Homo-oligomer: A and B are copies of this chain.
Amino acid sequence: MKTMYKEHTLTKNQQIIFDLIDKSPEPMKAYSILFNVQKKGIKAPLQVYRALDKLVKMGKIHKIESRNAFIACQNSSCQVSKATAFSICEMCEKITEISSSSLSKYLANFKDKDGMKYSKYNLEFFGLCKKCR
């Protein structure tokens, strides 16, 4: 019989860390997360990184690669983290997930010069947000 596991039930550490990131108004860095969850019994970096890895794989959070920071998925339909796009203000560091179906369609269908398609991507746009201009 095909082996099936629970899909989106978070474990204790995953839930603690997800809740913290989800409540944060800005992306959080791993050691800032660690500092904030120490009162809940999570004491070591590895406990944080393990939960982050799983949450990223589930698509519950995304990593902003250029900032080494993690943000909760804004996009309720986004179950698995395969195709992500963000806008980043270089002045105030405000970061927003972009959900544009035309963008995601364009990128999902993009072929390189060898005709190859890539279903997974990460796009980071940089500029100044409205407030900072």
Q: Which residues of A contact B (CB under 8 A)?
A: 65-66, 87, 96, 98, 100, 103, 106-107, 110, 112-114, 116-127, 129-130
Contact = CB atoms under 8 A, between A and B. Distances in A.
Given A112-B125, A122-B126, 7 more contacts: A110-B125, A116-B127, A118-B125, A118-B126, A118-B127, A120-B125, A120-B126
Copies of this chain, whole number:
2
Contact of A130 (B65, B116, B121, B129): B116
9 contacts: A65-B66, A96-B112, A98-B112, A117-B127, A118-B126, A118-B127, A121-B124, A121-B125, A122-B126
Given A66-B65, A87-B116, A123 B126 contact: no
